[in-house]
Amino acid sequence: MKHIAALQTGVTGTLPDIEPTPAELDAIDIEMPLILAEVELLDAEIITLDRSPNELDTRRIRRARRNVLRARRALTNQSAALGTSGVGA
């Protein structure tokens, strides 16, 4: 029986530097409020997975959804303002 195996260097070659670029880090910083709001919503939803949500859970989820929408609106407005002023083009 003959074994067939790919050599790792033959398949992937040498990996480039996989650190994020400064532009990618700036983009993450800009999106961080939205990311945190989505994590908060996910946490609120996870709490209710194994039981039916009570009034406090319902309020927490509703507040987290509003925070996500608020963060999305702010991010959209910020990117629209940057796009129309020519900054970053």
Rounded mean pLDDT for each run of 10 residues along the chain, 89 residues in total? 62 69 93 97 95 95 98 94 58
Asked if 41 and 65 touch (Cβ cutoff 8 Å), the reply is yes
For residues 28 and 21, give the distance between their C-alpha atoms in angstroms, rounded to a whole number.
11
Stated pTM of the model: 0.69
Instruction: Note the pLDDT of residue 87.
Output: 44
Instruction: Note the pLDDT of residue 79.
Output: 87
Domain coordinates in residue numbering, the chain: 21-84
Instruction: Note the pLDDT of residue 75.
Output: 95
Instruction: Note the pLDDT of residue 18.
Output: 83
Find where tokens 């709490």 sit: 47
